Structures are given as structure tokens and as C-alpha cells.
Amino acid sequence: MKTATIVGAGLAGSLWAVYLAKAGYNVTIFERRSDIRLAEIQAGKSINLALSHRGWEALRAVGVDHHVNELAIPMTGRIMHSATGELTAQPYGQEGQAIYSVSRGGLNAKMMDVAEKEFGATINYNMQCTGGNLEEGIVYLTNKLTGEHSEHQSDLVFGCDGAYSALRYKAFQKLDRFNYSQEFVEDGYKEFLIPANADGSYKLDKNALHIWPRGRFMLIALANEDGSFTCTLFMPFEGDENAFDKINTKAEIEAFFETRFPDFYEMCPNVVEQWGTHPLSSLAIMRCYPWTSGKAALMGDAAHATVPFYGQGMNASLEDCHTMGKLMEEHDHDWEAIFKAYQADRKPNGDAVQELSKHNYLVMRDFVADPQFLLQKKFENRIQELYPEKYIALYSMVSFSSIPYAEAWKKGQEQDVYMKDLMQQHDIESLMKEGKVDDLIHRIFKDKLVSN
């Protein structure tokens, strides 16, 4: 039986453990934190992430999606909150399509349970990776409770230790000709909790992702299972106004929320207290290549961490597992071939998910409040309803399909040019009002060939 070591029992590491254990590998995981399953219960709160098609497919492939169903709250669209409190809804896709608010801890804990109990993987907590020898398949470790140093050797090593991966920093980055970049964006984020009503009900529609788009900054909210919402404020660290460095006193914090996010402010009366106690965090895009060397590979955020504006970081990480799993079968456990195919397939998609994420920041901050953008979305939705095999909007390609990110990004850019052009040539708004837009769509798309 082959042995495999996974560094990091986060979202990628815990699912990848299931894949490997299921395929018969002897899996050992080293995780820096203490057991998340105990920690979660103690803290009594969870942070939710948007899980979409690619993530579900990766879970489904090893038959663990049903465990996650229970945790998942469908979000069928965005609800935009204007500065005066008006709401505008916008569906994400077609009838029945949704992305899902899922507890990060819940999903993580479930995968660890399955890997451990169903397939006999071993998880070691409080074990921090401090480096590795990629050729030999060795990881160096420090026990965070005892300070003891040790090393662990195996046939395969997977660095699933997140955006600040120690395996990447301490081993890959020292390889000759290893390309690497860490790029911090100008914005940071701070999380806030909108509590549930006294009766446990939600203060906002739980089946939507809420956005307060404000141009250079924005607030978003996703429902948690317990009736609360986890909200995230994205804003520049420094600036003339509406920047983290300009909002410090109680009066400044209150004024900021009262004027910019009045409806949120009402639902979150202790925002000043939360501002003071919740950390201000930074956001980075990490790029590197190669992703594999000797007996080791990087997966998930360790290989391609991105900014969270498309809600695809975890989905891309889970899709890494899905792809590596398929390649494992295709190449019949010949790991030299698997690693080669893995990085050739996934690197362009990692780059693309980063481009998509940067692009969607503009969409969320700006465009969703722009009537032209909303009109285009509506028009695209209608095209997609009438000719689903001939037109898939970018958001749908990314969130509701398995079309490789790189292909989606390329096609999405082409489509955007095409759409803008169509909208210049035709007064879509009037056509919609007059109920004539379908005629136009039929005229254009009826005889159009499927583009791919």
C-alpha cells in the first residue's frame, strides 16, 4: 500500500484525503490547528462560503455530497441594497440554479470524519509543517504543544496548507527556476455578524447573497444556519475617505455605517464593538509554477490563492481534487504522469480563476448598481433561456458548469464585447418593454452555430 502525506486539513486537504483514502492509500494528515471539530463547537459560530457547481461535483465524485446537503442554504440570486435602503433582486441563473451558503467548518469537519472513520486516514493536530524535502517525500514538523521536531517520510506529499503554505515557502520557493508571486490588493476586509431575530428567524432573505455595492467599497452578507448572517466589508486600507485608516473613533464608525449602510446599521446595532474586536485582514493573490516537484504537489490555495470576489477559491480547490482524482485513475497511479498532467491542466485554470476574481470585484462593487449592466444581465438571461445550448453567460459558466475556468474567462470576454455591441445596435430596454426582445433573440440566434 502506498503512503501519502497531506499537509493541512483545510477544505482541499480534507477532501483530498477522502479521495486518496478511498483509492486505497495510507493517508496521514498533519494540521497546524487543534481539532476544528472541537473548536467549532466551542466558538459556537461558523463562517459560510458560497459553494457552487464545481465544488458539488468534486464532492459528488466521492459520494460525500449528501453530507453537505444538510448544511447548504441555496442562494438563487443577489439582492442589492442601495444607500437609501431600496432592494433590487437579480437571479444568478435559470430557474432551479443556485449557489449555496455552506458552513466552512461543517464541510471541513465532515470530510475529516469521512476520511478518518470510513477510510482509516490518520489526522494529526497541532502539527505544523516547517519545510520539506520534495525529492525524498519528507515533511519536517513541529508539534505546537510540545515544541518537538520530527520528520515524516512517504511516497507522496500534498501541500494543502493554504495561501500562506509552508511547503511552498520553505521547499518549493527555494527550487531553482521556481516562479512565484504574492500580490496584495489595496483592500482589506472585516467581518460582522447580523444576529438572528429573537425567535431565531432571519433578518434578511436567507436565499440570496446580499450586496451593498458602493463603488470603491462594498459590504456583502451570507446566511448562516442559525438565523444569523456573516457580513464582510471590503474597503481600501488607505484612502482619503471610506478607507480603513480613516475610520477609527466610535463617532467615525457610526457615521460611516449610518450614511453608507443605513439598513445594515439598523440590523447590527453593536457594529462599533464588532469593529473594535474583529481583525482587519488582507487579501492576496498567490501565483506559482511548477505546482509539482519530485514526490510533492501543491493543491488549493497553496497553488493558486485568489481574492474572494467570485466565491470560487474553495470551488477551485475542490476541483483540483476532482481533477487529480480523475488523473489518478486515468494514469493508473503513475504519479510522474499524474503530476505532469495535473499541473498542465490546472495551472491555466488557476490563473483564470484569479483573473475572474479580480474582474468580479469590479462587477460587485460597481456594475451591479449600474442600470446598463443590469439590463445586459437580463438580456443575457433571456437569451440563455431561449437558446441554452448556444449561449451561456460568464457567471453561469463559472458557477453552474464545469467548463474549465480558462475557457470560461476567454469566452466570457468575447461574449461581453459581442453583447455590448448588440446593445449598441438595438434599444434592448424599449424592446423589452414592448415585449419584442424575443423576436430579436430568435432572429440572431436561431441559425447561429454553437460556438464551441
Residues that bind a copy of itself (CB under 8 A): 169, 173, 176-184, 237, 282, 284
Partner whose binding site includes residue 34, from a copy of itself, ligand FAD, none (CB under 5 to 8 Å by kind): none
33 versus 333: smaller Cβ distance to ligand FAD: 33
- In angstroms, give the least distance from the CB of 73 to ligand FAD: 12
Q: What residues are paired with 158 via a beta bridge?
A: 6, 297
DSSP class per residue in 147-181: --EEEEE-SEEEE---TT-HHHHHTGGGSTT-EEE
Partner whose binding site includes residue 162, from ligand FAD, a copy of itself, none (CB under 5 to 8 Å by kind): ligand FAD
Partner whose binding site includes residue 319, from a copy of itself, ligand FAD, none (CB under 5 to 8 Å by kind): none
119 versus 169: smaller Cβ distance to a copy of itself: 169
- In angstroms, give the least distance from the CB of 191 to ligand FAD: 7
- Nearest to 308, CA basis, from 347, 231, 360: 360
By CB under 6 A, name the one of 263, 301, 351, 380 that touches ligand FAD.
301
DSSP class per residue in 371-438: HHHHHHHHHHHHHHHH-TTT---HHHHHHH--S-HHHHHHHHHHHHHHHHHHHHHS-HHHHHHTT-HH
- Nearest to 90, CA basis, from 77, 102, 107, 81: 77
By CB under 6 A, name the one of 58, 68, 121, 129 that touches ligand FAD.
129
Partner whose binding site includes residue 168, from a copy of itself, ligand FAD, none (CB under 5 to 8 Å by kind): none
350 versus 412: smaller Cβ distance to ligand FAD: 350
Among the listed ranges 17-25, 58-66, 295-303, 437-445, the one in contact with ligand FAD (CB under 6 A) is 295-303
- In angstroms, give the least distance from the CB of 177 to a copy of itself: 4
- In angstroms, give the least distance from the CB of 121 to a copy of itself: 31
99: which 3 cell numbers?
A: 449557489
173 versus 248: smaller Cβ distance to a copy of itself: 173
Count residues near ligand FAD (CB under 6 A).
31
Per-residue exposure over 226-248, b if at least 16 CB sit within 10 Å of its own CB, e if not: ebbbbbbbbbbeeeeeebbeebe
- In angstroms, give the least distance from the CB of 290 to a copy of itself: 11
Looking up cell 493536530 gives 125
101 versus 381: smaller Cβ distance to ligand FAD: 101
- In angstroms, give the least distance from the CB of 280 to a copy of itself: 10
Are 127 and 30 within 8 A, CB to CB? yes
Partner whose binding site includes residue 8, from ligand FAD, a copy of itself, none (CB under 5 to 8 Å by kind): ligand FAD
287: which 3 cell numbers?
A: 501565483
- In angstroms, give the least distance from the CB of 232 to ligand FAD: 6
- In angstroms, give the least distance from the CB of 209 to ligand FAD: 9
Determine, following the binding rule CB under 6 A, whether residue 390 of this chain makes contact with ligand FAD: no
Determine, following the binding rule CB under 6 A, whether residue 160 of this chain makes contact with ligand FAD: yes
DSSP class per residue in 14-30: HHHHHHHHHTT-EEEEE
- In angstroms, give the least distance from the CB of 386 to ligand FAD: 30
- Nearest to 325, CA basis, from 122, 158, 100, 114: 158
DSSP class per residue in 251-262: HHHHHHHHHH-H
173 versus 270: smaller Cβ distance to a copy of itself: 173
- In the structure, how many helices (H) and strands (E) does the chain have? 17, 19
188 versus 290: smaller Cβ distance to ligand FAD: 188
95 versus 176: smaller Cβ distance to a copy of itself: 176
Are 338 and 331 within 8 A, CB to CB? yes
To the nearest 10 degrees (0 to 180), the angle between helices 104-113 and 11-22 is 20
- Nearest to 317, CA basis, from 290, 280, 291, 282: 291
100: which 3 cell numbers?
A: 449555496
Integer CA distances (angstroms), 331 to 60, 118, 336, 441, in order: 21, 25, 9, 45
Binding site for ligand FAD (CB under 6 A): 7-13, 30-33, 49-50, 128-129, 160-162, 166, 189, 232, 300-302, 308, 311-315, 317
